A and B are shown apart, each in its own frame.
Chain A
Amino acid sequence: MAPIPQTATVFAYQVGFGDCFLLRFDYSDGSRRHILIDFGTTGMPKDDATITMKRVARDIAERCGGALDIVVATHRHADHISGFETKADKTGSGDIIAGLKPRRVIQPWTEAPDAPEDWTGPEGTDPATAFAARVQSLDGMHAVARAVVERLDREGFDSHWPLAPRLRFIGEDNIKNLSAVKNLKSMAGEEPEDKANYLYVFHGCNLDLSAILPGVKVHVLGPPTLGQTQTIKKQASKSADEFWLRAPAMLALDADAGVASARRSMLFPNLEREDMFRRSKMPAAMRWAAERIDTAEAEQLLGIVTKLDKAMNNTSLILLFEAGSKKLLFPGDAQLENWTYALQSEMADLLDDVDLYKVGHHGSLNATPKSMWDRFSKRGAAGKAGRLTSVMSTMEGKHGGKHGSPTEVPRRPLVEELKANSNLVNTQDLAKGELFHEVIVDLR
């Protein structure tokens, strides 16, 4: 007889602004299974130098007894996968994880080398072509993000630019993390027969993990395929793909570095030095407008990186683990557009009795849509029997603008609601030196 899962334990690690959860199932026969869901950061807590990604990786290794069953990378953002980075001398935190030889790696379809089986493109298009276009457009987004960060790094750049910190944060989060991406494509084996260990999933696809996780059903609620998305959107996303594909050239930011500090104008190379004014030596008649133009440019760049950040979040996996009598929801950073498809699908009913909710996108406002939260029947005031547990990994002051603005992360009114109507476990509340919160869910 197959063993029965008895308890689930979630280790919510301190990774500053990022996500890292180790999910453990304890079985009736005394065996255990371990699933690592995301491992990334874009800013460790500043007041505690003892916590590093390597220390977290070593702790994971110890806790899972040297062998991981499954690695889940919900999406490609640095704050979810940076820990998978490897080093040439094999001493990176990602090398430690790779050494745990996961049997399966689960990622969203956007990470697949080719369009997965049963994946659907928009009506009337060839799925392979549609898939390739989307993957290329994601690469375009990385290129834009990298160009923005390079621009910020460039010599001669005015560090007092008011939007620079936010631009840098979002930009860096969206730069393609090559070694981590590669690691996620090789840690479960590189032989031809290992190909089946890499699972690229989408809404409603059949994810059969019974051989590894007996008694646990894993439902994939998101992300939707392009074909699925089309049914809730009025227009196909072709024009958006085209935009991101062409964006790096359009924005001209991938030009050689130093466009601002170079002696010659890139745009008008024939101009002599005396026919140009440096920013710091501008005639009085130009200064008022020049300052405004600088800000206007920064605002637009911020608008662009915010949009690509959101697009990337919406590639996020939404996984629901159903084990025994309990349901555990891990939606990565999925934002409203990703949720919209799941919420109008037949699978939405699965959300009604969720027991543990990993708070989406570090507590940002539109990653916990009201229409989803309202479905959770187990939310309620303290003392409610079988009350919902929510687990949040976040760090204030890092993302999303000023304190109190609608884009702040975590969003205060949401945190208040989570506190009022669930048992909130927040990595921000970890004491100095504490590595994780441990949440035990009885599955019987």
Chain B
Amino acid sequence: MKILPPVRKLTIVAKDPGLRVGMAGAMVFAQIDVPAEILAPGPTGYRIKVVDYNSTERRAYADRQSYQREHELLDPFAPDSGESLDDPSYQARVVGDPNFHAQNCYAIAMRTLGLFERALGRRVSWSSGGHQLHIAPHAFALANAFYSEPDRALMFGYFFDSDGKPIFTALSHDVVAHETTHAVLDGLRSRYTEPSGPDQAAFHEGLADIVAILSIFSLSEVVAAGLGHEPKLPGPGEPMEVIAADKVTAKAIRESILLGIGAEIGLSDGAGRGALRQSVRIEPDPEILNRAHMMEPHNRGEALVAATMHAFVQLWTARIAQLGTFEGGTYNLASVVDEGAKAARQLLQMSIRALDYCPPTDIDFGQYLAAMLTADRELVPDDSRFGYRAAVKASFAAFGIFPPAGQCDAEGCWPPFAEADQLTYSRSNAEVLTRDVDECFRFLWENRKALRISEYGYTEVVSVDPSLRVDPDGIPFRETICQYVQIAHFFGAELQGVLKIDPLPEGLTTQSSADVFGGGVVILDQYGRVKYHIANCLDDAPRQRRRLEYLRDTGQLRGRRDDSRSRFANLHLARMED
């Protein structure tokens, strides 16, 4: 029997078609690792199904590629012999082939999903319950790309620049990774798309950009290109390539294409304003989240991206400063790139692992910060060597984001569950508890008083997930993440009586009604005991009041919910208005 290799290589456009190098302005291509599998046409694999239908042209483009021969996994768009990834003729050929665009989306989406699965130590589901997410690489001639939950799909549009050249959003790694992150996050925390405070909608946008930006740093040739070098680092035994110190200052890095999103789209749709977004250019400002323009979700999300990227730049430049310098104060390019990869990987893992420590409803940036710090401390208790947590905390503080006051310990982390002695385990089967939602619900329900789980409303255990990670000492580290959500439709009188929101916010009467949410994650340790309970309780009157006032002020209280297809689409199109 032949054995499949563990991974397959596939060729993609790295970062964004707007990243160009050399005199000829070649694009940067890369060959990345994706899980090995026998692909069906599309390509269609076990998590992604590409459907290359174009509704503007009312036709689909057939997939004519061979992805495997016998038991050999192929990269159909690898350069032919005698060609290289940076040959203009090669690049023109593959970019003109819709099948390449399809493969590009497949590969980047699988890679992005893989980042989450690796960081969380488990498989991650799509929110629809289905296993294969659709991707339409050329869905329509519109300058938009979005994740649509009811369609179980990512749809990528295309448009034409002023010279009539098509701009494909499906060719931008930034855009594909961003939209895939929306889908993954929706699978992990499906209630983050509900109307909530200003942070929740912004969080989706912010995390999507953070993942899109940081995930590129593990591709060393792309980082080299982003720093203005040829996208090829010297191999073993080859002479060292150096980079001038002024190219790796904090300012130079902040302005590089590496920390932007959608360079090509930005250049072609906004009269030369550069990348679609370059959030890291936002200057630290502790009051920024209170400013009026920061109420728009994309803008507000950029503050989260900026806080994270300022931390990243600080961590990377600190690591560079520790490297030895060469003649003229230059650095070894390979080492610079390597340090960037390490800093990005660590920060990305912190950003993703934090999700397990976030309450499942009504997230705000402060809670996310506490979750990030907690997740990292669980795995790496000693922060003294590289100071990741210190850097993140300082950078977030500079953007006015602090762990929730009164709810965290001195380090800004969630405190362990304090009333462990109040819990009853005797009626639960410890082994079943770590894998069965009904058993988990029974445990929560029987301990509802100690866990402050309201008896009102509808309560559901959304997921019980194992999480297995390896700590820096190489020791496996196991937790179980139980996520539960509470939903209630309350009339004003009940908001007053049950939730104690008294008096009601101005504009609400005893007859008006609203949906309110609550819920938490219960983290079980390796013995099946409650280690953390991180919750936004349903009966948290001050929080519910803030939320209702925000919904009232933004006209979402009485308005019907956006239907879910247009939810993300509208966010993207919203920029045509101001």
Contact = CB atoms under 8 A, between A and B. Distances in A.
Q: Does A associate with B in a complex?
A: yes
Interface of A: 156-158, 233-240, 242-244, 246-247, 249-253, 255, 259-261, 265-268, 270-271, 274-279, 282-283, 285-286, 289-290, 292-297, 299-301, 303-304, 307, 406
A19 B136 CA distance: 43
A286 B51 contact: yes
Interface string B536-578: 0000000000000000000000001000011001100101111
A303 B151 CA distance: 18
Nearest to A233: B578
A235 B295 CA distance: 13
Interface string B53-74: 1111111111010000000000
Nearest to A290: B53
Contacts of B161: 249
Given A293-B53, A297-B139, A406-B560, A268 B59 contact: no
A249 B578 contact: no
Contacts of B49: 285, 289
Nearest to B271: A242
A289 B98 contact: no
A260 B58 CA distance: 5
Contact of B138 (A236, A240, A251, A267): A267
B279 to A, nearest CB: 17
B142 interface: yes
Given A267-B138, A303-B573, A276 B60 contact: yes
B162 interface: yes
Contacts of B270: 239, 242
B166 interface: yes
B173 interface: no
A113 B40 CA distance: 60
Contacts of A238: 578
13 contacts: A156-B58, A157-B58, A239-B578, A242-B271, A247-B576, A252-B56, A267-B98, A268-B61, A277-B62, A285-B44, A297-B140, A299-B566, A307-B576
Contacts of A275: 61-62, 64
In the A-B complex, the 10 residue pairs with the closest CB atoms = A243-B576, A252-B141, A260-B58, A297-B140, A289-B51, A290-B53, A292-B151, A297-B55, A277-B60, A250-B159
**B contacts with A: majority SS:** mixed
Contacts of B44: 285
A294 to B, nearest CB: 5
A278 B569 CA distance: 26
Nearest to B144: A300
B134 interface: yes
B464 to A, nearest CB: 31
B171 to A, nearest CB: 13
Interface residues of B, number: 53
A292 B293 CA distance: 34
B140 A293 contact: yes
Nearest to B101: A268
Contact of A253 (B141, B148, B569): B141
Contacts of B456: none
Given A275-B62, A292-B151, A259 B142 contact: no
Nearest to A240: B578
B153 interface: yes
A251 B575 contact: no
A267 B271 contact: no
A303 B161 CA distance: 22
Residue in A253, A283, A292 whose Cβ sees the most chain B Cβ within 10 Å: A292
Contact of A234 (B134, B292, B560, B570): B292
A276 B153 contact: no
A286 B56 contact: no
A407 to B, nearest CB: 11
B59 A265 contact: yes
Contact of B573 (A278, A294, A300, A406): A300
Given A234-B292, A276-B62, A290-B55, 5 more contacts: A244-B576, A267-B138, A267-B158, A279-B59, A300-B142
A90 to B, nearest CB: 41
A396 B522 CA distance: 54
A290 B159 contact: no
B425 to A, nearest CB: 46
B51 to A, nearest CB: 4
Nearest to B577: A240
A267 B153 contact: no
A300 B569 contact: yes
B568 to A, nearest CB: 11
Nearest to A271: B61
A299 B134 contact: no
Contact of B61 (A276, A294, A295): A276
Contact of A267 (B51, B54, B55, B60): B54
Contacts of A295: 565
Interface in B175-208: none
Contacts of B292: 234
Contacts of B136: 289, 293
A243 B61 contact: no
Given A240-B577, A265-B59, A268-B61, A252 B159 contact: yes
Nearest to A310: B577
Contacts of B158: 252, 267
B253 interface: no
B46 interface: no
Contacts of A265: 54, 57, 59, 61
Which among A235, A271, A290, A293 has the highest number of chain B CB atoms within 10 Å? A293
Contacts of B56: 252-253, 259-260, 297
Residue among B166, B569, B578 with most chain A CB within 10 A: B578
A272 B265 CA distance: 29
B33 interface: no
A236 B578 contact: yes
B96 interface: yes
A149 B29 CA distance: 40
B267 interface: no
Nearest to A298: B55
Contacts of B53: 282, 286, 289-290, 293
B155 interface: yes
Given A275-B62, A307-B577, A406-B560, A296 B151 contact: yes
A268 B62 CA distance: 12
A249 B577 contact: no
A265 B271 CA distance: 28
Nearest to A161: B55
B143 interface: yes
B269 interface: yes
A115 B389 CA distance: 56
A233 B139 CA distance: 34
B160 interface: yes
B49 to A, nearest CB: 8
A279 B155 contact: no
B160 to A, nearest CB: 5
A290 B51 CA distance: 8
Contacts of B64: 275
B155 A251 contact: no
A69 B196 CA distance: 55
Interface in B222-275: 269-271
A240 to B, nearest CB: 5
